[in-house]
Structure 1
Amino acid sequence: MATADETGVRGQLWLEEPAIRRRMPDPVRTSAVRAVIIAAVTLIQAMVAFLFSLTGSWLAFPMVLGSVGSTVVATWAVLDVWVTRQVWNQRHGVVSVPSSTARQLRRERRRQRRAARTAAREAARIRSRGTGGGRLSEA
């Protein structure tokens, strides 16, 4: 009887590994895909314009003009990715890691406020006891 190694058949086709980075948000991913497609079309158009220029075709000039316009649009698309990412981060917040200094500072401030509130409550309770609060007469 032949084993899996002798027949050339392996147990698994691929191994699942955990993602190192988080997935991009949908709007950012959409604009990134759009930018990549526009950049690819721009590069193809520039290459065609270059080849037309080499052959001396009458289509070279319109293609060069189109390539210049395409370059402007591609730049705009890349900027759109950047702006969309910034807007998404601003609206939905950035994912903070547990070792974040900002989180540590917030914890410290929260602890200080809690201690101040506790001290103020304690002082108010001591004051109300010391002034005879709660007694109906001086007798």
Structure 2
Amino acid sequence: MGTAERRGTSEAEGTTALVARRDADTAGDGAAEQEERAYYRPLWIEEPARRRRLPDPVRTSAVRAVLIIAVTLIQAVVAFLCTMAGSWLAFPMVVSSVVSTVVATWGVLDVWVTRQVWNQRNGVVSEPSSTARALRRERRVARRRARAAERAQARIRRRGGTGQLSHP
């Protein structure tokens, strides 16, 4: 099958057609095997995301919080092991674990605050009953009405007011 013949079809359809043609040329195979080979199945099928992607500032603060929490957990484990071993490093590790816990709490609060600020500035679009969505819809309808009225006035002016009983 040449490129001129395949121009109107997609790549998957072209591949399916090639497989079907090759199978048709092969004699002696069963009909079920030919049908099975003729069916083209891609390696993966892209599915739409279930949830919207987090905004960049929120994602950045979430990654920061996860890293801080991971370091805090590692410090807590090391502090526990040093305490069990009776090492001199146990006290500094316990103190640093307490400080890290405070910082990790700040990190989680930072994610929450950043998300709230983002939602307030850009409108909550994930909720069906969102007031921001309703306000945007109202503004969009008002803009459409204004544009339609403007086009109607321009049309009246172009025609010179013919067909009008009175001029505004």
TM band (smaller chain): 0.5 to 0.7
Distance 1:29 1:101, change over 3 A: closer
Corresponding residue for residue 75 of structure 2: 45
Once the two structures are aligned, what percentage of the paired residues are identical?
Answer: 72
Structure 1: which 5+ residue stretches go unaligned? 111-139
> Structure 1 length as normaliser, TM-score?
0.63
Runs of 5+ unmatched residues, structure 2: 1-25, 27-32, 142-168
**Distance in 1 (alpha carbons) for counterparts of 2:130 and 2:89:** 59
**Paired position in structure 2 for 1:118:** none
State the TM-score, normalized to the length of structure 2.
0.52
Q: Does 2:64 align with 1:26?
A: no
Q: Deviations over 1:37-65 (max 9, x none)?
A: 00000000000000000000000000000
Letter of the aligned partner of 1:91 in structure 2? R
Structure 1 position 92 matched with structure 2 position 122: yes
Which residue of 83, 92, 99 maps to 1:62? 92
Name the CA distance, whole Å, in 1 between partners of 2:80 and 2:130. Answer: 53
Pick 1 or 2: higher relative contact order, CA cutoff 8 A, min separation 6.
1
Q: Provide the residue aligned with 2:102 in structure 1.
A: 72
Return structure 1 stretches of 4+ with deviation > 3 angstroms. 99-104
- Is the contact made by 2:124 and 2:130 (CA closer than 8 Å) also made in structure 1? no
Question: In the comparison of the two structures, how many residue pairs are matched?
Answer: 101
